[in-house]
Chain A
Amino acid sequence: MIPQIIFTLLFLTGTGIFAFKIKKIRRNIFLGKPLEIKDNKAERWKTMAKVAMGQSKMVVRPVAGFFHILIYVGFVLINIEVLEIIIDGLTGEHRFFAPYLGSFYNFLIGFFEILALLVVVACFVFLYRRNISSIRRFKMPEMKGWPKLDGNLILVVEVVLMGALLKMNACDQILQLRGADHYMVAGSFPISQFLVPFFDGFETGTLITFERIFWWAHITGILIFLNYVPYSKHFHIILAFPNTYYSNLKPKGQLNNMAAVKKEVDLMMGGDPFATPETTVDDGPPERFGVKDVTDLNWKNLLDAYSCTECGRCTDNCPANQTGKLLSPRKVMMDTRDRIEEVGKNIDKAGKPVEDGISLLGNYITEEELWACTTCNACVDACPLNIDPLNIIMNMRRYLIMEESKSPDSVTSMFNNVENNGAPWAFPAADRGKWIDELN
């Protein structure tokens, strides 16, 4: 009975802390501006099925794509076994599903073992790619320090967890053969049978202890891992699904028309300038044009930031980055996430939103980075989770121009030309048809 109580407490604590953190992140995401995405439900489900479940954009890079699918499928399926482990833990049974599933159970356990081995192999491949081979996207400035450690930790933890699972099964099958009390004969062990020689020499009592240790290590490991996920780029294993569901379905070239600007332009173009304003209610400080800090972004931008896997496909495809400019769309996403976490922590401390004198634009992202973007959409196209770094870049440019009138001189004169001549160059509008005279 005692192990069951300990397990129940452990399980509730683990999932409870996780739920608490998820609630915080949810709150942070909705610090973003409202945005209604309720259209085209069928197409949204389809996009999610294709891009997240079907990994359609992952396989563009065949090596990373293939090994990721191993981990992804392994994770999803092995979780069925975790479900059994949880039920065993709560009920004090051993291999709870076995009596119900019969020989299919044996097949499943065998299948999971093979998956576990493949996951281990894939993790080693990824560790090799990250640390030994020279892949450009893992070697950029924003990948130093924590992001690098994070990337490796996840892989090591996966290996440890899978190792515990296999060793647990190895002990289990010896105990089954010896007819130990409580260890009914169930499962097939295509992989862990090779671990049997390491444990065969021990007495039954010691083996039971080992088996229990691996069992507890596996489940505690999973609970710790669960709580690590929301602090890591590994959060994508959950957010990839909602994030692709809320993908932008419009043509990538379409940039939203700002409603607040439309109102003013309508007034200037045709509205009656002497009409009394519609409302005299004070709406508080007027809304900012564009984005200075993360709370000016919309919630989808923030969901994007929490979903980012830091894979760097965006940056790898970015023409500005490839030609040595400071801009990296991956860094834009990582900065956004770091800053919204910071804003969230401030709120946790003070109990309300606080002005800390820091902002996304300026403290995290510089003007030089923003002005390097060609708006080519290569980053958007490359992202396996349909994240849109360009939208954040554009909205920060809007802030620079419309709130601070800050632009490179040549851009300022382009604006002046458009305004005065209706063309980005200083040609008189009357000359627009000159080419017609030159035609014949």
Chain B
Amino acid sequence: MSTPIHVPTMAQMIASGEVPEVLFWVGCSGSFDDRAKRITKAIVKILAKANVKFAVLGAEESCSGDPAKRAGNEFLFQMQAAQNIMVLNGYDVKKIVTGCPHCFNTIKNEYPELGGNYNVIHHTQFINDLIKDGKLVIADGKSFKGKKITFHDPCYLGRANDIYEAPREALMKLDAELVEMKRCKAKGLCCGAGGAQMFKEAEPGNKEVNVERTEDALEAKADIIATGCPFCNTMMTDGVKNFNKEEEVEVKDIAELIAEAADLI
């Protein structure tokens, strides 16, 4: 926590003649939303602690286009993609770590056809690899002894890209107990935010999706709901509030939990 962390932009790095190992793609939530910014900071602290040479795009980053595409606006999506690909290719970026499964999915699966070919990794995978390779040691931080943690699979990491194990492996490094909700992995229930729902009122119904999902987590008797997506984080936090359980149940991103355990925040 002591030495200040330097977060260079790509432009600064290149100007000083250096090439980063990875580009950290922050995403819009992670850049602007106060709650999600805390996740961003946790990721950066982990990268710094593990001596990963990274950079961000800063003001040159722009929305990946996912919400536009999922709402049906292919024009806007492809404009965003073209602009981002121009920037990324301009810096000859090879490897990208994203803090958001929506950006992850879009850049990994939809950019290549438009000229953007990168090795794209979600932050939970990257963190898990850092721990496995011994580059990040979890010690001296907060203990989770006796706590039950449940992982809420983000649709765009899980079903969309079949990544279920890396986030769980990372959580198992904590001294907590990992419990599963009755619907998990491929059968995990959406938090309700995807497909641009995050930006609109829900259609008429008899319940909010995030409330339905929070019930699953409460039923699993979890003390901590671990997330891997800033949208899920918002939805689950609201869900917990809906049941007035914010005193008992925490909603935290995997990056935050790992950073706490490694005494970084």
Residues of A within 8 A of B (CB): 250-255, 257-258, 261-262, 264-266, 268-269, 289-290, 317, 319-320, 322-327, 368, 371-378, 380-381, 394, 397-402, 407-408, 410-411, 414-415, 418-419, 422-425, 427, 429-436, 438-440
**Chain A residues near B79 (CB-CB < 8 A):** 265, 268-269, 419
Is the CB–CB distance between A440 and B5 below 8 Å?
yes
Is the CB–CB distance between B71 and A319 below 8 Å?
no
CA distance A252 to B186 in the complex (A): 12
**Chain B residues near A261 (CB-CB < 8 A):** 74-75, 78
B213: shortest Cβ distance to chain A, in Å?
Answer: 8
Q: Mark B142-155, 1 if CB is under 8 A from A, else 0.
A: 00000000000001
Is the CB–CB distance between A415 and B68 below 8 Å?
yes
**Chain B residues near A402 (CB-CB < 8 A):** 72-75
A266: shortest Cβ distance to chain B, in Å?
Answer: 8
Is the CB–CB distance between A438 and B203 below 8 Å?
no
Main SS class of interface, A:
helix
Interface-side segment among B123-131, B158-166, B241-249: B158-166
Is the CB–CB distance between B58 and A432 below 8 Å?
yes
Chain B positions 73-129 with a Cβ under 8 Å from a chain A Cβ: 73-76, 78-83, 86, 105, 108-110, 113-114
Q: Determine which of B7, B110, B190, B206 lies in contact with A376 in the assembled complex, contact meaning CB atoms within 8 Å.
A: B190
Number of residues in B with C-beta < 8 Å to the partner?
Answer: 75
Is the CB–CB distance between B75 and A264 below 8 Å?
yes
Is the CB–CB distance between A415 and B76 below 8 Å?
yes
Is the CB–CB distance between A265 and B82 below 8 Å?
yes
**Chain B residues near A375 (CB-CB < 8 A):** 70, 155, 194-195
**Chain B residues near A433 (CB-CB < 8 A):** 9, 31, 56, 58-59
Is the CB–CB distance between A323 and B162 below 8 Å?
no
Q: List 17 A-B contacts (CB under 8 A).
A: A251-B109, A253-B105, A253-B161, A257-B81, A269-B82, A269-B83, A320-B203, A323-B209, A374-B195, A375-B194, A380-B159, A381-B187, A402-B74, A425-B32, A427-B31, A433-B9, A433-B56
CA distance A431 to B61 in the complex (A): 11
Is the CB–CB distance between A410 and B32 below 8 Å?
no
**Chain A residues near B159 (CB-CB < 8 A):** 252-253, 376-378, 380-381
Is the CB–CB distance between A435 and B37 below 8 Å?
yes
Q: Does B21 contact A (CB under 8 A)?
A: no
Is the CB–CB distance between B62 and A401 below 8 Å?
no
* Given known contacts A376-B194, A424-B199, A398 and B72 CB-to-CB distance under 8 angstroms: yes
Is the CB–CB distance between A401 and B212 below 8 Å?
no
**Chain B residues near A439 (CB-CB < 8 A):** 4-5, 7, 41, 44
Is the CB–CB distance between A440 and B4 below 8 Å?
yes
Is the CB–CB distance between A317 and B187 below 8 Å?
yes
* Chain A residue at minimum C-beta to C-beta distance from B36: A435
Is the CB–CB distance between A415 and B209 below 8 Å?
no
CA distance A427 to B65 in the complex (A): 16
* Given known contacts A423-B32, A424-B63, A439-B5, A324 and B205 CB-to-CB distance under 8 angstroms: yes
